[in-house]
Amino acid sequence: MSETGWQRVFLAAGLLNLVAGLLMVLAPATAAAMTGLPLPADSHLFVRLAGGLIATMGIGYLMAAGDLDRHRGIVAIGAIGKASAWLLMLIYWLNGTIGFWAFAAFAIDLIFAILFTRFLLRFAAR
């Protein structure tokens, strides 16, 4: 993939994370309803904390889109984080804790984890 192609990948990941994370912070019930994930009845604290971290990673992906060489470390952390999120959702789905559509919503994380890893392996740092 070309440098421009990789920039678009990180731009897309950044915008997705930023929007999803901010939605979790500002409207956790809406975010839960959109993904089909259960929402704790007593407190939205952890949903909001997770949303803040997701939005922060989105900012990191936008930084990577702007400078592919300088922010490779963010991409590496992102690959691990996205693969971990997908794996956790897989485990919860297999255990019957979440439904298929909640699990399927995280397929994009697996796709980005694969793309991020491919970037790290194939796009040489300069």
pLDDT exceeds 80 at position 126: no
Mean pLDDT of the chain: 93
- Calpha distance 98→76 (Å, rounded): 28
What is the full DSSP assignment across 26-86? H-HHHHHHHHT----SS--HHHHHHHHHHHHHHHHHHHHHH-TTTTHHHHHHHHHHHHHHH
- Lowest model confidence (mean pLDDT) among 13-22, 58-67, 96-105: 96-105
- Lowest model confidence (mean pLDDT) among 23-32, 34-43, 70-79, 111-120: 34-43
- pLDDT value, residue 43: 83
- Band the pLDDT of 50: cuts 50, 70, 90: very high
pLDDT exceeds 80 at position 100: yes
Give the CA count within 13 Å in the CB-facing half-sphere of 69. 3
pLDDT exceeds 80 at position 124: no
- Band the pLDDT of 55: cuts 50, 70, 90: very high
